[in-house]
Structure 1
Amino acid sequence: MNFIVLCSSRGTTFQAVIDRLADGSLTANCLGLVVDREDRGAVEKAKKANLPIKVVGRIKGEPREEYDWRLNEAINEMGEVDVIAALGWMFILNPWFVQNWEGRIVNVHPALLPKHPGAHGIEDALGAGDKETGMTIHIIDEGVDTGPILVQKSCSINPGETVDSLKPRIQDLEKEWYPKTLQMIETGEIQLKTKTPA
């Protein structure tokens, strides 16, 4: 299984994927990293791992659909991509892009979906007074964090918990389970819908 990583952040979970590729516990093939800016933290991690990098910069005022066309072109230039690993991609993908890669964009979200979708999953869980939260690995569909769930893992929310104390524990779950999920896709334990992209 060939995958690319789509990231617009520091790449905390991306580093865990790199580490599992290096130790052989993830046997899928990473074709490289696609980012929106050269200064993203994930870029340095990809360079250290000798992974190809494509930067698809945003143009001021450019419609989202046009950006996603360029994004799609860059992904296809990386090779025969089976799966897009969305790791900290902070932009909503255009419906056309999602349909084109239907069932093959794997996202991680810092909450137990369907509770607390959107950009503030950790804050929302704390604000709701939840006793537990966690992370969800799911397929991206045309909604916001509404796609089919592949893996969920939980952790307790302790009295007096803050975003700063809770976030690292959720990230630890993400770092453990995202590479494991990719490996389950690689071995066929998790079956994804396959559709040849345009």
Structure 2
Amino acid sequence: MLKIVVLISGGGSNLKALLEAADAGGEPFEVVAVGADGDAAGLAHATSRGIETFVTRPKDYDGRQAWGEAFLAEIERFSPDLVVSAGLMRILPEGVVSALSPNLINTHPALLPLYPGAHAVRDALAAGATETGVTVHVIDAGVDTGPVINQRSVQVLPNETEDELHERIKEVERPLLLQTVRDIASGAVTLGE
């Protein structure tokens, strides 16, 4: 059974998809804890199931490195096999990445290497892209530069807004993340090779 810690910043729709799949039974993974960098609404998905949560706020620490060390210590308490950044809107400090990677993955709303960073959907629309998508990748020391594990494309519709496109990307992102986690748990995907 693959033990997972999920990291979030917001509503946790990807987290919810993982938890609902686990609730249904027969999955080769379990979410053992959920961490956030603030009072994320998505933590409720975990607490309602009795899954432990932790919040490590950057403002409570003297600098990014100190925050990263505290966040890493919380993550490591659960001895996870895999850490999933599922909507954590913060770049993890180098010490966190080096301690956890390659067993540290992220979802990104674009077909990397196109449109890295926090505004991928907006950037795709601004570039006039007719296609974008979602990527699940290993987190490395760069910003959305780690090895790609899985990708799915999403067509950009005429006159589509950023919010509309982002919602359609999320509909593809949730099952892609779930399948990727299943593939890692079963050994069909091996990280770090």
TM-score bucket (shorter structure): over 0.9
Post-superposition offset of 1:106: 0.7
Quote the offset at 1:27 in angstroms: 2.1
Equivalent residue for 2:13?
A: 12
Cross-structure match for 2:28: 27
* Structure 2 residues not aligned, in runs of 5+: none
- Report what 1:187 is aligned to: 186
- What is the identity percentage for the equivalent residue pairs of Structure 1 and Structure 2? 32
Give CA-to-partner distance per residue, 1:152-189, whole Å, 9 cap, x none.
00111111111122111100011111111100000000
Number of positions where the alignment pairs a residue of Structure 1 with one of Structure 2 = 192
Q: Does residue 1:135 correspond to 2:134, yes or no?
A: yes
- Secondary structure, aligned partner of 1:41: coil
The superposition leaves residues 51-70 of structure 1 with CA deviations (integer Å, 9 ceiling, x where unpaired) of 11112122356211110100
Task: Give unpaired runs (5+ residues) of structure 1.
Answer: none
C-alpha separation in 2, matches of 1:156 and 1:102: 31
Q: 1:88-118: CA deviations, max 9, x gaps?
A: 1111111121111121111000001000000
One-letter code aligned to 1:47: T
Give the letter aligned to residue 69 of structure 1. E
Match of 2:47 in 1: 47
Aligned to 1:89: 88
Q: Structure 1 residues 115, 77: closer, same or farther in 2, change over 3 A?
A: same
Give the whole-Å Cα distance in 1 for the aligned partners of 2:61 and 2:192: 34
Q: What's the offset of the Cα at 1:22?
A: 1.0
Task: Report whether the alignment pairs 1:102 with 2:101.
Answer: yes
Counterpart of 2:41, as a letter, is G
TM-score by length of 2: 0.95
Aligned to 1:20, the other structure's residue is in SS state helix
Q: Secondary structure at the match of 2:174?
A: helix
Say whether residues 1:113 and 2:112 are aligned partners: yes
Q: For residues 129-157 of structure 1, give each alpha carbon's deviation from its aligned partner in whole angstroms, at most 9, with x where no partner exists.
A: 01111100000000000000001001111
Residue 24 of structure 1: how far off its partner (Å):
2.5
CA distance in structure 2 between the partners assigned to 1:76 and 1:110 by the alignment:
27
TM-score (structure 1 length as normaliser) = 0.92
Match of 2:72 in 1: 72
**In structure 2, what is the equivalent of residue 177 of structure 1?**
176
Q: Secondary structure at the match of 1:74?
A: helix
Q: Is the 8 A contact 1:104 1:192 kept in 2?
A: yes
Question: What do you get for the CA RMSD once the two structures are aligned?
Answer: 1.4
Code of the aligned partner of 1:148: P
